[in-house]
């Protein structure tokens, strides 16, 4: 019987997990997860930090590092409030243990929705402040002085009147014996050393040398590598298979059936792929084999002719629209999209009768643990999850399908197995951003302002498909950024119809807002032009009840010199969207060539995230959101033919590249409000700002994404 590989063995083997130990900024990827130090000589007032007698501070980061900078931001916040030198702290990635590490807002140990800082900031600050207060109390009692007379400087408690000083490491034993204060005093923002300052990312050294360990890089003694042949039809199952020829392929060790297909298990990925080619599988294609994009589009269009469920109803839009006057109609459509994380899906598992260990690039350690517990029959505490670096997440890695792959395959073959997806597997078996159809109808009053507005949305609901919202209700993810659109319209009606054809759907960077920002901000732009008003001033006039939208819109417009002359052939477009706790506005500068090719020259973005913990990384997230959104604006489209995804790799599902990158200027509005998210809010404004600029340049209104260059050709 195989025995579980211990963490010690891994480290000795020079392996992956924990390889960061050797580098300047130690990033240890497996925490012990102590709630309160059992071991003597360690001060651990809570699960987030501990200090040993040598003064070594260890901070536990519960948020997976998927590019957003959590390995930097989390320790910044805790080190600041604890008052220690950031460069000297060690960082551990939290294990799966929802009891200790769950997000206090969502109640689960899964990370999406740009929730890293905004949901944890208050809790982390309090945890660190409690520790600092205990260290101060320990020093005060050591010196027999009132605690009010001591203070801290990085890594030490000092008593200024007498010049005495004790390092945190010297106070460990005394502090450990003290009760944890429930209501510690937090630093005032003027005392912050790190929060709000430009701090370089701590994970850069491992990411520029190839030392950083992603899921695909995990290597274990005796590990096999598997590739899974999946039904080309989404949701299809294996009917029968013949693995004889596959098993004859050099390096192939096992061919086993798992939930998601047939796993070819080999001594390496290349051998597994060769084995896969030799497989013979008969599929039960299931009902999705009847579904194609053209059929979905027809069904959506038909559904939009009927009233939907009411998601919002102010005044009486139908009555005002029926009265006629200046009524304007438009239809907006967006396609399915795949996340295309650079690191294809993968996970590594080892399963024995007693325990299960998983190494995975997951946004969802809690769900990973629960999934493995369900599949193995083990209690969750017998399932250890090591969260590696993630080569992109964008919502795709909150799913657990690739965890199922690894656990089932490893269990079947009795050896540690890494299941790796090809790019083709990744594109053809995703959880797609929903395709939707949206019809708009608005009536303008005598001043050209919208007197009534109706939006009918048709598409599937992510939360309903995943069973998190009851069928029959309005799916909040489907209507976000529409139901709460900020413009002051007296008669406003939003309807939604759930049309789900069984295509797996999921959370795609900024989710509903990613597409709804486009439809709302394009349609309001249409109304502005119809009214003969400046699109920026028109929005401003309608944002009286939404001061944060207005402020961020004004900042973007000012920084983009809205209204100032541009070189011939260029035009500007603007958009503003609230999502994931933050307000974002973008001004795009665009030109369109005679052949219809669009060039985005410059994007000026403004963001009000409440609090910018690391301003340079706020900018990085906005820059990244721009590129993610530009890909969707110009290229992104997943189509379905008889249940099969027709795209497969970057040739037919292209990505924006450096030669198309506009100059991006990001401006942060420090509103001092509660912290908002940053991973997602950079996305929703980009497509509408670009398309609104295209309208200014060409007079053509883009109502379907991705942009069809043929439509913009000038003959």
Partner 1 sequence: MISLTVNGKRHQIDVQPEMPLLWVIRETLGLTGTKYACGMALCGACTVHLDGAPVRACVTPASAAAGKRVTTIEGLSDKGDHPVQRAWTEVDVPQCGYCQPGQIMSAAALLTSTPSPTDADIDGAMSGNICRCGTYQRIRAAIHRAAALGKGGAR
Residues in contact with partner 1 by the rule CB under 8 A: 16, 65-69, 200-201, 203-214, 216-217, 219, 225, 250, 268-270, 340-344, 389-394, 420, 422-423, 616-617, 620-621, 623-628, 649-651, 655-659, 661, 663-664
Contact 294, 484 (CB under 8 A): no
CB of 481 vs partner 1, minimal distance in Å: 21
246, 340, 346, 365, 678 from 343: Cα distances, Å: 26, 8, 8, 18, 22
CB of 11 vs partner 1, minimal distance in Å: 15
HEC string of 597-664?
Answer: CEEEEEEEEEEECCCCCCHHHHHHHHHHHHHHHHHHHHCCCECEECCEECCCCCCCCCCCCHHHCCEE
**Nearer residue to partner 1 within complex by CB, 533 or 559:** 559
**Nearer residue to partner 1 within complex by CB, 303 or 620:** 620
Q: Which residues pair with 61 in a beta bridge?
A: 93
CB of 28 vs partner 1, minimal distance in Å: 18
Other beta carbons within 10 Å of 21: 11
Pairing, β 598-608 against β 640-641: unpaired
Q: Which two tokens stand for residue 251?
A: 């390096």
DSSP string spanning 262-329? EEEEESSHHHHHHHHHT-EEEEE--GGGG--HHHHHHHHHHHTTS--EEEEEES-HHHHHHT-SEEEE
In terms of Cα–Cα distance, which of 38, 43, 53 is closest to 134? 43
Contacts of 546 (CB under 8 A, 6+ apart): 486, 487, 488, 578
**Nearer residue to partner 1 within complex by CB, 25 or 332:** 25
**Nearer residue to partner 1 within complex by CB, 313 or 649:** 649
Q: Which two tokens stand for residue 477?
A: 């993810």
Distance of CA 188 to the CA centre of its chain: 30
**Nearer residue to partner 1 within complex by CB, 212 or 434:** 212
CB of 423 vs partner 1, minimal distance in Å: 5
Pairing, β 491-498 against β 450-459: parallel
In terms of Cα–Cα distance, which of 458, 512, 446, 448 is closest to 485? 512
CA dist 453 and 490 (Å) reads 9
**Nearer residue to partner 1 within complex by CB, 365 or 682:** 682
**Nearer residue to partner 1 within complex by CB, 261 or 662:** 662
DSSP 3-state of 66? coil
CB of 338 vs partner 1, minimal distance in Å: 11
CA dist 216 and 344 (Å) reads 8
**Nearer residue to partner 1 within complex by CB, 473 or 616:** 616
CB of 72 vs partner 1, minimal distance in Å: 9
**Nearer residue to partner 1 within complex by CB, 484 or 648:** 648
Instruction: Give me the count of residues in the chain.
Output: 715
**Nearer residue to partner 1 within complex by CB, 367 or 682:** 682
- Return the C-alpha torsion angle 145, 146, 149, 154, nearest 10: 80
Contacts of 117 (CB under 8 A, 6+ apart): 73, 77, 611, 613, 675, 677, 678
**Nearer residue to partner 1 within complex by CB, 69 or 155:** 69
In terms of Cα–Cα distance, which of 563, 554, 547, 635 is closest to 597? 635
CB of 433 vs partner 1, minimal distance in Å: 14
């Amino acid at each position: 019987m195989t025995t579980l590989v211990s963490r010690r063995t891994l480290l000795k083997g020079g392996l992956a997990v924990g390889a960061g130990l050797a580098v300047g900024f130690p990033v240890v990827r497996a925490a012990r997860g102590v709630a309160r130090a059992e071991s003597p000589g360690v001060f651990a007032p809570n699960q987030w930090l501990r200090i040993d007698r040598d003064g070594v501070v260890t901070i536990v980061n519960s948020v997976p590092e998927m590019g957003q900078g959590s390995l930097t931001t989390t320790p910044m916040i805790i080190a600041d409030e604890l008052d220690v030198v950031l460069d000297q702290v060690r960082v551990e990635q939290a294990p799966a243990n929802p009891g200790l590490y769950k997000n206090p807002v969502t109640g689960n140990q899964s990370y999406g929705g740009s929730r890293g800082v905004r949901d944890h900031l208050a809790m982390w600050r309090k945890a660190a402040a409690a520790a600092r207060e205990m260290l101060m109390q320990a020093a005060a009692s050591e010196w027999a002085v009132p605690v009010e007379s001591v203070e801290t400087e990085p890594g030490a408690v000092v008593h200024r009147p007498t010049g005495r000083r004790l390092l945190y490491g010297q106070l460990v034993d005394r502090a450990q014996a003290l009760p944890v204060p429930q209501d510690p005093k937090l630093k005032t923002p003027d005392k912050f050393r790190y929060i709000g300052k430009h701090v370089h990312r701590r994970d850069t050294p491992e990411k520029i040398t190839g030392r950083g360990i992603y899921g695909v890089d995990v290597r274990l003694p005796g590990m096999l590598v598997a590739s899974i042949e999946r039904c080309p039809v989404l949701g299809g199952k294996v009917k029968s298979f013949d693995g004889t020829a596959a098993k004859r392929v050099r390096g192939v060790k096992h061919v086993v059936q798992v939930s998601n297909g047939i796993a070819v298990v080999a001594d390496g990925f290349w051998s597994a792929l060769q084995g896969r080619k030799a497989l013979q599988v008969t599929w039960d294609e299931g009902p999705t084999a009847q579904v194609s994009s053209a059929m979905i589009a027809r069904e959506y269009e038909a559904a939009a002719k009927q009233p939907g469920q009411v998601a919002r109803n102010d005044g009486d839009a139908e009555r005002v629209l029926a009265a006629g006057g200046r009524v304007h109609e438009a239809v907006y459509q967006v396609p399915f999209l795949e996340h295309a994380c650079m690191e294809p899906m993968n996970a590594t598992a080892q399963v024995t009768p007693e325990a299960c260990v998983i190494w995975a690039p997951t946004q969802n350690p809690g769900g990973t643990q629960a999934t493995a517990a369900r599949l193995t029959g083990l209690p969750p505490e017998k399932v250890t999850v090591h969260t590696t670096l993630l080569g992109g997440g964008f919502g795709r890695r909150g799913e657990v399908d690739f965890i199922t792959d690894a656990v089932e395959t490893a269990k079947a073959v009795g050896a540690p197995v890494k299941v790796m997806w090809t790019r083709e597997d990744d594109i053809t078996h995703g959880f797609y951003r929903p395709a939707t159809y949206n019809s708009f109808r608005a009536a303008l009053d005598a001043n050209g302002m919208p007197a009534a507005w109706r939006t009918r949305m048709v598409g599937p609901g992510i939360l309903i498909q995943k069973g998190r919202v009851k069928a029959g209700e309005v799916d909040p993810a489907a209507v976000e950024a529409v139901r709460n659109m900020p413009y002051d319209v007296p008669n406003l009606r939003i309807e939604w119809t759930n049309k789900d054809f069984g295509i797996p759907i999921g959370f795609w960077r900024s989710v509903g807002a990613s597409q709804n920002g486009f439809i709302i901000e394009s349609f309001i732009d249409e109304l502005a032009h119809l009214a003969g008003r400046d699109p920026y001033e028109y929005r401003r006039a309608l944002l009286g009840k939404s001061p944060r939208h207005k402020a961020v819109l004004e900042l973007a417009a000012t920084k983009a010199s809205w209204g100032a002359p541009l070189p011939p052939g260029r035009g500007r477009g603007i958009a503003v969207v609230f999502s994931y706790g933050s307000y974002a506005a973008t001004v795009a500068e665009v030109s369109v060539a005679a052949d219809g090719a669009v060039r985005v020259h410059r994007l000026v973005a403004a963001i009000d995230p409440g609090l910018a913990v690391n301003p340079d990384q706020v900018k990085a997230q906005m820059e990244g959101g721009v590129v993610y959104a530009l890909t969707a604006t110009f290229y992104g489209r997943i189509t379905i033919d008889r249940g099969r995804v027709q795209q497969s790799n970057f040739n037919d599902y292209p990505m924006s590249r450096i030669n198309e990158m506009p100059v991006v200027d990001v401006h942060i509005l420090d509103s001092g409000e509660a912290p908002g998210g940053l991973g997602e809010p950079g996305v929703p404004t980009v497509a509408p700002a670009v398309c609104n600029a295209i309208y200014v340049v060409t007079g053509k209104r883009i109502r379907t994404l991705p942009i069809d260059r043929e439509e913009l050709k000038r003959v």
